[in-house]
Amino acid sequence: MPRQRKGYNASYHTFFPFFVLLVSHFSLAISYPLPPEGSRLVGQPVTIAVPQNNTQPLESFAARYGQGLSNMLEANPGVDVFLPQSGSTLVVPQQLILPDTVREGIVVNVAEMRLYYYPAGTNTVEVLPIGIGQAGRETPRNWVTAVERKQDGPVWVPTANTRREYAKEGKTLPAMVPAGPDNPMGLYAIYIGRLYAIHGTNANFGIGLRVSQGCIRLRNDDIKYLFDHVPVGTRVQIIDRPVKFSVEPDGSRWLEVHEPLSRNRAEFESDKKVPLPVTPVLRTFIKGDDVDTSRVNEVLERRSGMPVNISAGRSGL
């Protein structure tokens, strides 16, 4: 039974058949028990009701249920990001397929804008939404590194190029932004490699978006949790996999498709969908006799970011 880790100032307690949500105003990672051998499917999707006379933006619901904005937008096409309609329903994508990687340390999948943390000595995985590097300042991909150090109260030193970009917009950036609540890195930083960090934020938006200078951004409660629990030396793997799939122990086949990240400025600014990377392994998976081809095509087109059972003759999301 997945459960939502309690954040600070928790004030809501909502009960669902499969797990308990302990809801914070600020942020909540979701803790899942690891599935049995041969399985990578965890969690269950949740449907919530938008209150009558709603005054909150979609970001508020995303933060309350431990999601990034992109996760909520994929699961709820057409939703008003500024003001979801009162009385409507929202799908919270709390079911997912674990990335096909070693279950160790931190795994970041930039395509789905999620960070997976496998605490040593436990049988759980913590899933946290993230913001990543904007187009032209991408977060590194296909990289294995480690936590080099941690900093309580990081100082931000913008690059000369960053300062020039701000200047073009009429903004002046100092050579150094001191630690404190106005620092864009937030109150905690976990440095990976030489040039990048997993850090907090001084804003109330940007999680689930491409907004950073290349670093990995988390909501403040989430970075505090990682800062307190992730040791220096922890393995960190960054991947870019918009398509995840799994054959479960019962033989069912599941497919989870996210919008791929744009590969260049033209794709970023275009209204056209970015092509999905179809690897030989994926092609073999979706062409089997035991899959529902029409459902596969729907999933590849829809890109809901949620696992779908594509088995022939089987029911599923």
Ramachandran area for residue 313 (φ above 0: left; ψ -120 to 50: alpha; else beta) = left
The token pair that represents 155 in the structure block: 């100082």
Question: What pLDDT, on the 0 to 100 scale, is given for residue 182?
Answer: 81
Catalytic residue among 13, 25, 215, 229: 215
At 198, list the tokens.
Answer: 């997993």
User: If pLDDT is split at 50, 70 and 90, which confidence band does 19 have?
Assistant: very low
Q: What mean pLDDT do residues 209-218 have?
A: 82
Q: Three-class SS of residue 33? A: strand
Give the whole-number percent of the chain exceeding pLDDT 90.
62
pLDDT at 295: 96
Q: Are 196 and 213 in contact (CB under 8 A)?
A: no
* Residue 81 predicted with pLDDT over 90: yes
Active-site residue identified among 13, 199, 229, 258:
199
| 218 pLDDT more than 50 | yes
Q: Chain-wide mean pLDDT for the chain? A: 86
Pick the closest to residue 43 from 84, 93, 90 (CA basis).
93
Q: Which residue has the higher pLDDT, 177 or 2?
A: 177
In this model, does residue 94 exceed pLDDT 80?
Answer: yes
Burial of 315 (0-12, 13-18, 19+ CB in 10 A): exposed
Q: Beta strand pairing status for 210-212 and 132-133?
A: parallel
**What's the whole-number mean pLDDT along residues 243-264?**
92
By mean pLDDT, which of 31-45, 100-114, 157-171 is the weakest?
157-171
Residues with Cβ < 8 Å from 244, sequence gap 6 or more? 40, 96, 97, 98, 99, 100, 112, 255, 256, 307
Overall average pLDDT of the 113-128 stretch: 96
Does the pLDDT value for residue 152 go beyond 90?
A: yes
> pTM of the entire structure?
0.87
What residue ranges define each of the domains in the chain, with the CATH number in brackets? 3-96 (no CATH), 105-239 (2.40.440.10), 243-309 (no CATH)
Is residue 17 predicted with pLDDT exceeding 80? no
Half-sphere exposure of 127 (CA within 13 A, CB side): 26
pLDDT for position 176: 78
pLDDT band at 51 (very low <50, low <70, confident <90, very high): very high
Span of 3-7, 13-17, 195-199, 240-244 with lowest mean pLDDT = 13-17
Of 140, 148, 156, 239, nearest to 193 (Cα)? Answer: 148
Q: Please determine, for residue 301, whether its predicted confidence score (pLDDT) is greater than 50.
A: yes
Which tokens hold the place of 174?
Answer: 């100092």
Closest CA to 173 of 217, 182, 200: 182
Can you tell me the mean pLDDT for 144-166?
A: 86
pLDDT for position 9: 28
Strands annotated E in 176-287: 188-192, 196-199, 210-212, 216-217, 235-239, 243-247, 253-257
Asked about 229 being catalytic, the answer comes back as no
- Kindly report which listed range (136-150, 164-178, 198-212) carries the lowest average pLDDT score: 164-178
233 vs 176 pLDDT, higher one: 233
pLDDT of residue 151: 93
What pLDDT was estimated at residue 4?
56
- Residue 258 known to be catalytic: no
At residue 302, the 3 state secondary structure works out as helix
Q: Is the pLDDT of residue 245 over 70?
A: yes
Backbone phi and psi for residue 3, each to the nearest 5 degrees, phi listed first = -140, 155
* Residue 24 confidence (pLDDT): 37
pLDDT value for 103: 96
Least confident stretch, 10-24, 149-163, 209-223:
10-24
**What is the C-alpha separation between 300 and 3, in angstroms, rounded?**
29
Burial of 306 (0-12, 13-18, 19+ CB in 10 A): buried
